[in-house]
Amino acid sequence: MTVTSQEPGPPRRTAPPRRSRPSPIALGIAGLIVALHVVAWNATGFSPAALVAGWEGIADFFDEALPPDLSWADVVKPSIDAAVVTLGIGLLGTTFSVPFALVLALLAARATTRGSITYQAARSVLSFLRAVPDVVFALVFVTAVGLGPFAGVLALVFHNTGVMGKLWAEAMEESDLGTRDALRVAGATRTQQAVHAVLPTTLPQLVGLLLYRFDVNVRSSLVLGLVGAGGIGFLINQSIKLFRFDEMVTHLLVVLALVIVVDQLSALIRRRLGA
Amino acid sequence: MPALRISNLSKSFGENRVLDGVDLNVEPGEFVAVLGANGCGKSTALRCVVGLEQPDSGEVDVDGRPAMVFQRIHLVHRRTALDNVCAGALGRLPLSRSITPRLFPRELREEAMWCLERVGLADHAGERAVRLSGGQQQRVAIARALCQRTNVLLADEPVSALDPSAAVNISELLGRLAEEGLAVVAVLHQPQLATRCAHRVVGLSGGRVAVDRSAAAVSQAEVDALYVPGGVAV
């Protein structure tokens, strides 16, 4: 008796298509990206060797900075007070930019705006506000209202309007437009469509982006302090100028606590809102 | 006089001619089920009627403003069923009374409750739409269309996303609304539901009306031919 053995394995099927090779365009783009990095390396004087050679300087810095100065009256309490001011700059800079960002976002989203002229104009305003760094806005407003946190708030309002307006407009454009169409069929005006369809369906994303920007703005307000907008950034700048690195480390620890608190608070609100 | 009259409706997307001279009249109190394979122009025809698409040629005459419900329902999930229904009336509300649901007039909220009663969901008026089942959400969408005070209700695959039981319930609801005097046109993918609940069956094939018979008279062969690629009415 002859036994015919069968090869194990799956039955024969149509062969899967071969993956296509990268196109010359894709290879060209990859080459361009590499070339840009080489140029950037040279332009910035990027040198790991210099970092290694200068390790003694870093060691001296840590020697002077540690342990941090934890004297309550002279360092810690002023640091906490200044952190509250920094938090206030970030909070008001975010909140006061909401109405401007909302109006511009509605005008800059194709889901909610009618004419292309309005759309392009709103996009241009947002691009301008986004392109000017908040530090530059702060320097401009310092000349108008003097040194202090108010200049920082104004700077953040302007810059954040540009960034948040753009992010919100993108979120609205990516939203499901079916609800808007349902109301459009019912005869709702553009404003009613925005208020009763686009905004409520994108609300979780908008709130999520708002909290993200609050997080970023609190950290930005630190930097604004370096150019005279007050807050804990101002104290860090003073400590560096006076070579009081132990004070500076204390301020940085307060900043770390502030950032963690803001981050956790944002995450909590996002979870509650389902954003 | 028909509540909806479509004459020689044509629409192309690029080289693709989706509608090629569609004619359809629907009387008040009539429930017309539209059948046909994917891409035969059913949804496009409805979207042309409500103005979501502009036809290339042809005429559409509607008694009043048509209302429409969709396969994906499209409610605002965060809002209550009642607020979603009230949104159907936005077309006749000034902005000052409609910038937020809190400003909706009391009379509108009462009318919206009546619309929810008509679809059998009055006891869910205060629930957020997201907490309702698919069938209940589609009922809310139908109530929203009723709150528009429409004479013509168009439904684009209203039961495609629902389980069989909910699909039957929604189809029967559309039938009852037609008995109350509405002209109802529903795109369906379930021939059995169409012949069971509708008064008339219209079959589209290749952008043209291939079948137009009373639901009782349409044959299985005619329905089957609609789903054969390149098929025509037998």
**DSSP of A201-258, one letter per residue?**
HHHHHHHHHHHHHHHHHHHHHHHHIIIII-SHHHHHHHHHHTT-HHHHHHHHHHHHHH
Is A65:A248 a contact under the CB 8 Å cutoff? yes
A17: in domain: no
Closest partner residue to B90 (CB to CB) among A179, A196, A200 is A196
Is B81:B115 a contact under the CB 8 Å cutoff? no
The position carrying tokens 């300087």 is A57
With a pLDDT cut of 70, the percent of chain B lying above it is: 97
Q: Is the pLDDT of residue A6 over 80?
A: no
CB contact under 8 A, B77 and A201: yes
CB contact under 8 A, B95 and A185: no
Judging by DSSP bridges, how do beta strands B152-156 and B57-62 pair with one another?
unpaired
Whether ipTM tops 0.95, in short, is: no
pLDDT digits (tens, 9 = 90+) for B30-50: 999 999 998 889 999 999 999
Q: Is the pLDDT of residue A21 over 90?
A: no
At residue B195, what is the residue type? T
User: Which class does domain B1-66+151-234 fall in?
Assistant: alpha beta
Is B189:B221 a contact under the CB 8 Å cutoff? no
**In chain A, how many domains are there?**
1
B88 interfacial to chain A (CB closer than 8 Å): yes
Q: How far is B147 from chain A (nearest CA, A)?
A: 9
Closest partner residue to A200 (CB to CB) among B50, B72, B78 is B78
Judging by DSSP bridges, how do beta strands B208-214 and B200-205 pair with one another?
antiparallel
pLDDT reported for residue B234 = 43
Domain harbouring A241, CATH code: 1.10.3720.10
Q: Is the pLDDT of residue A204 over 50?
A: yes
A8: in domain: no
Chain A residues lying within 8 Å of B93, measured CB to CB: 192
pLDDT reported for residue B230 = 58
Range of the domain at A150: 71-273
Give the range with max mean pLDDT: A62-66, B122-126, B158-162. Answer: B122-126
Reported pTM: 0.80
Comparing C-alpha atoms, which of B12, B7, B37 is closest to residue B24? B7
Q: Is the pLDDT of residue B233 over 60?
A: no
Give the Cα separation of B142 and B134 in Å (integer): 12
Closest partner residue to B75 (CB to CB) among A179, A184, A191 is A179
A205 interfacial to chain B (CB closer than 8 Å): no
Choice between A29 and A12, residue whose per-residue pLDDT is larger: A29
Neighbour tally for A115: CB within 10 Å: 9
> For the residues of B116-153, what is the DSSP string, one character each?
HHHTT-GGGTTSBGGGS-HHHHHHHHHHHHHHTT-SEE
Q: Is the pLDDT of residue B101 over 90?
A: yes
Q: How far is B216 from chain A (nearest CA, A)?
A: 32
Give the Cα separation of B162 and B17 in Å (integer): 30
Region A48-77: mean pLDDT is 84
Give the Cα separation of A89 and A204 in Å (integer): 24
| Rg value, chain B, Cα | 18
Residues of chain B with CATH 3.40.50.300: 1-66+151-234
pLDDT digits (tens, 9 = 90+) for A156-180: 999 999 999 999 999 999 888 899 9
pLDDT digits (tens, 9 = 90+) for A247-266: 889 999 998 998 888 888 88
Is B99:A207 a contact under the CB 8 Å cutoff? no
Q: Is the pLDDT of residue A2 over 70?
A: no
Is A101:A164 a contact under the CB 8 Å cutoff? yes
A181 interfacial to chain B (CB closer than 8 Å): yes
pLDDT reported for residue B226 = 87
The position carrying tokens 């019912």 is A186
Give the Cα separation of A43 and A35 in Å (integer): 12
Average pLDDT, chain A: 88
Q: Which residues pair with B62 in a beta bridge?
A: B4
Give the Cα separation of A54 and A48 in Å (integer): 10
With CA atoms as reference, the chain A residue closest to B83 would be: A196
With a pLDDT cut of 90, the percent of chain A lying above it is: 45
Residue A184 burial by CB count (10 A; 0-12/13-18/19+): exposed, middle or buried? buried
pLDDT digits (tens, 9 = 90+) for B104-115: 999 999 999 999
A127: in domain: yes
Is A213:A33 a contact under the CB 8 Å cutoff? no
Comparing C-alpha atoms, which of A86, A94, A70, A72 is closest to residue A246? A70
Is A65:A243 a contact under the CB 8 Å cutoff? no
pLDDT reported for residue A66 = 84
Region A211-227: mean pLDDT is 87
Is B83:A179 a contact under the CB 8 Å cutoff? no
Q: How far is B68 from chain A (nearest CA, A)?
A: 7
Q: Which residues pair with B80 in a beta bridge?
A: B128
Chain B residues lying within 8 Å of A197, measured CB to CB: 76, 87
A172: in domain: yes
A265 interfacial to chain B (CB closer than 8 Å): no
CB contact under 8 A, A185 and B68: yes
The position carrying tokens 């509650």 is A272
Average pLDDT, chain B: 92
Secondary structure class of B59 (helix, strand, coil): strand
B149 interfacial to chain A (CB closer than 8 Å): no
Region B119-125: mean pLDDT is 94
pLDDT reported for residue A4 = 55
A188 interfacial to chain B (CB closer than 8 Å): yes
pLDDT digits (tens, 9 = 90+) for B176-232: 999 999 999 999 989 999 999 999 999 999 899 999 999 999 988 888 888 876 555
B176 interfacial to chain A (CB closer than 8 Å): no
Within its chain, how far is the Cα of A41 from the centroid?
25
At residue B142, what is the residue type? I
A200: in domain: yes
CB contact under 8 A, A196 and B72: no
Q: In angstroms, how far apart are the furthest CA atoms of chain A?
A: 105
Distances (CA, A) of B194 to A115, A243, B77, B200, B224: 42, 84, 29, 8, 13
Q: Is the pLDDT of residue A273 over 90?
A: no
Range from A9-13, A126-130, A219-223, A235-239 carrying the lowest mean pLDDT? A9-13
Judging by DSSP bridges, how do beta strands B200-205 and B31-35 pair with one another?
parallel
Q: How far is B101 from chain A (nearest CA, A)?
A: 8
CB contact under 8 A, B90 and A203: no
